[in-house]
Structure 1
Amino acid sequence: MFFWSHSKQTRKLLFVLIGISVTIGLIPSLFANPDPSDGDIYYIDTVGQNRPRPQQRPHPDLHVPSVPVKQDVTAFTNWSTDKTAYPYIQTTINFVEGHLSFKAFLSDGTEVSYSTRGEHVRYSKCYGDLCIIVSQKNLLGVSNSSTEWEKGHIFGEERYQVAMGHKAALVASERKLYVYNSYTNHWDTISLEQESLRAFANLHDKVAIITTRRILVMDLPTEMQFEQNLLLRGISQFEMRDGFINFYSGDKLWMFRHQTEAFEEVDLTD
């Protein structure tokens, strides 16, 4: 009788010890780092290949913001040295950015608004008598002589260089030049064919543009353009003055006279 009772107690004690050992052995696995692949569901298709469970689409009520693509808009720097003595220029126009809009305030107090809904503004600046905006869809300009933002269209171009004058502004791509005229509130488009931009300058009502092939002088009030072929020569420096513009190329000088609206070639070796 004593042996049987002792055996029952021994067996109970043995069962308790075994249970404690199993519990202690399971505890580390409960706190171990989960397997990264744990929880993935795989299924076998008709050809016997394993495929991961397709990702679930986000709930339609959730707004998942997209990461904006960085666009390349930089300030243009002249390759040819600009010797122009610019006067002090006061900016007489400005704008403020509101909710999906830009509001320009002209010097006479007029307010001109533009809705930017659906557009991503890449560049905006006011200088002198004008303001410009560059978005992924449009070029926009406004001046003290305008009553609304003037729109210039661009087509699939991503890289731009921007230069500001007090009466005109330049937006240059690899293929075209877009010049905003504050006098006429108009965008002029100049095609670049096998040439590249070298300089841009604006003094009063004249604009000077130098490329690797030619010189362009624009009269802003009349929108007239005057061109001089460089004959494979490069312009090292230029200077804009009230009555003329000098373009220097080694021992040669091309002078544009405002009065005659023509280029004169001068040999500096004489």
Structure 2
Amino acid sequence: MFFYLHTKQFLKFGYVFLGLLISFGSSPTLDANPSYDEGDIYFFDSVSQNRNRPPQRPHPDLHVPNIPLKQEVTVFSNEPSDKTAYPYIQTTINFVEGNLSLKAFLSDGTEVAYSTRGEHIRFSKCFGDHCIIVSQKNLLGVSNSSTEWEKGHIFGEERYQVAMGHKATLVASERKLYLYNSYTNHWETISLEQETLSGFANLYDKVAIITSRRIIVIDLASEMQYEQNLFLRRIYQFEMRDGFINFYARNKLWMFRHQTEAFEEVDLTD
């Protein structure tokens, strides 16, 4: 009888001990697997294969620089209504971005390269016969009539608006207008003196710029510039045509004739 009780207690103790071994052997083990690509640590349950991802945290050896916010470059839209009937414009030039360089390919197959080392590209586009690049340091332009990228310097402006035409592009800041002329591969700077840009258009070799104080017409081939004071009037509509450009200001019309290269004022109240 004593032997039977002793054996029963021994077996009971053995069953409990075996159960504890099984429970400890089946408990999940956590293996840390650091991912150095993303700076996170992932934990894997070796039994259930469930993957738990804790909140992201950078790797202790990873230095994250304090990068300033990208400065703003927007596409300009005309405030006065542009009624110009633009023809179909085919883009005949393009560029590709390489390692620290940009290469433009002209319509004749010429390759024009520019090193972007030390510069951050903020805007880039090709349209018509030219390409434009805006970086934090420079304005760059190249056209089918050029052999190199033409550089226009900028002086600390933070906000830009860009408007592209077939032969010219306008880059406008709060203080200046920068016009790229694809005919001459040249940047021209126009100061804004207590005035704001309201309209821009480019048809063939003529450029029309409208501000809150004046109208500017530029002939790209000769680089001649013609101005008309608005006398506090507001242009609400304009239209470029082959032989003239019309600027409407309610009861006034200013017509720029290509043949005479002069403005004619027409009273619309009669």
TM-score between both structures, scaled by the size of structure 2: 0.76
Which digits, 9 at most, give the CA deviation of each residue in 1:82-121, with x for residues without a partner?
A: 0000000000000000011110000000000000000011
Whether 1:183 aligns to 2:183 is: yes
Please give the residue correspondences for 1:7-156 in structure 2 after superposition, counting only pairs within 5 Å. 64-156=64-156
Separation in 2, partners of 1:253, 1:208: 15
Name the structure 2 match of 1:45: none
Which digits, 9 at most, give the CA deviation of each residue in 1:185-224, with x for residues without a partner?
A: 0000000000000000000000000000000000000000
SS at match of 1:148: coil
Name the structure 2 match of 1:171: 171
Separation in 2, partners of 1:261, 1:81: 23
Separation in 1, partners of 2:160, 2:269: 39
Structure 1: which 4+ aligned runs deviate by more than 3 Å? 62-66
- Counterpart of 2:72, as a letter, is D
Post-superposition offset of 1:70? 1.5
Post-superposition offset of 1:65? 4.0
Post-superposition offset of 1:69? 2.2
Name the structure 1 match of 2:207: 207
Post-superposition offset of 1:179? 0.3
Alignment length, in residue pairs? Answer: 211
- Counterpart of 1:188, as a letter, is E
Larger Rg: 1
Name the structure 2 match of 1:33: none
Name the structure 1 match of 2:236: 236
Separation in 2, partners of 1:65, 1:99: 21
Separation in 2, partners of 1:268, 1:63: 67
- Counterpart of 1:176, as a letter, is K
Separation in 1, partners of 2:251, 2:159: 36
Post-superposition offset of 1:67? 2.3
Name the structure 1 match of 2:12: none
Separation in 2, partners of 1:67, 1:199: 34
Separation in 1, partners of 2:87, 2:215: 23
Separation in 1, partners of 2:198, 2:170: 12
Separation in 1, partners of 2:109, 2:149: 15
TM-score between both structures, scaled by the size of structure 1: 0.76
Q: Note the residue ranges of structure 2 that are not aligned, 5 or more in a row.
A: 1-59
Name the structure 1 match of 2:161: 161
Q: Note the residue ranges of structure 1 that are not aligned, 5 or more in a row.
A: 1-57
SS at match of 1:124: strand
Post-superposition offset of 1:269? 1.9
Sequence identity percentage: 83
Separation in 2, partners of 1:94, 1:166: 14
